[in-house]
Amino acid sequence: MNRPTIADLAKAAGVSVSTVNRLLHGTGTLRPQTADLILSAAQQIGFRSSGPLHERRRDNLPHRHLSFLMQQSHWPLCRIWAEALLGACARRTDAVIEPDVLFQGDPSPEAVAANLLKKGGSADAIAVISADHPLVGQAIDELRVKGVPVIAYVTDLSAASRAGFVGTDNWKAGRTAAWFISQTSGRPGNVFPLIGSNRYQFRDISDASFRSTCASTRPSSTSAKRS
């Protein structure tokens, strides 16, 4: 039995010979759906170059270099996040994502701003966890001018140029915590919320929401004191 030809593959996939050639020889680009259609047809008819076709399919996909700026590496939660990010990038089938995770040993605004500008020289986009500070906002502004979007995640930033925020609604988180305590506390008393630096918006917003809810739900029996 004769081996299937490019013409046979094109017929089986329902595309033109030139389309198969573009994928096989890496000339031009194809939609991922078209490339998948050709690969499926190649497997069905036993086309001998199906291996190289898989490689060409990957080459045909858009390539993106994404940088993720994390907090200190000794925080177990940061390492869990980093592993999840790397796994998510590897599972993408519509693009080839090249992730770069940087654990910032120095979380100061000066260091974060410097890392943002450094990564902006090669990254297509950057995601950052950082305290809110004018220096960080200035770096984000500079990167936006260069066409490099910066996403805040976990904790939001006030920088007007940031491309977006990925995280929880921290105002609702504070209200939920206050509601839960008000429902489970057996008697009136003081509540002492423990927070870290107020420079991190997610902490500051959650704290403000928590106190506001405590004051409005049970003003005569429950109050929040800063610690």
pLDDT-derived band at 220 (thresholds 50, 70, 90) equals very low
Using an 8 Å Cβ cutoff, are 50 and 42 in contact? Answer: yes
Residue 180 has pLDDT above 60, yes or no: yes
Dist. CA 27–CA 47, nearest whole Å: 20
- Ramachandran region, residue 164 (left: φ > 0; alpha: ψ -120 to 50; beta: rest): left
At residue 10, the pLDDT reads 86
Q: Tell me, letter by letter, the H, E, C secondary structure of 49-111.
A: CHHHHHHHHHHHCCEEEEEEEECCCCCHHHHHHHHHHHHHHHHCCCCEEEEEEEECCCCCHHH
Q: Which of 21-30, 52-61, 163-172 has the highest mean pLDDT?
A: 163-172
Domains of the chain: 6-60 (no CATH), 63-166 (3.40.50.2300), 170-224 (no CATH)
At residue 172, the pLDDT reads 94
At residue 222, the pLDDT reads 45
Asked whether the whole model's pTM tops 0.85, one would answer no
Classify residue 94 as exposed, middle or buried by CB count within 10 Å of its CB (0-12, 13-18, 19+). Answer: exposed
Could you give the 3-state DSSP secondary structure of residue 192? coil
Mean pLDDT value across residues 139-145? 96
Dist. CA 206–CA 200, nearest whole Å: 10
| Tens-digit pLDDT profile for residues 2-47 | 788 888 888 888 988 888 888 777 666 777 788 778 888 887 888 8
pLDDT-derived band at 129 (thresholds 50, 70, 90) equals very high
| Tens-digit pLDDT profile for residues 79-126 | 999 999 999 998 887 788 999 999 998 989 999 999 999 999 999 999
Using an 8 Å Cβ cutoff, are 66 and 98 in contact? Answer: yes
| Tens-digit pLDDT profile for residues 185-214 | 777 778 888 877 778 898 889 999 998 888
At residue 43, the pLDDT reads 79
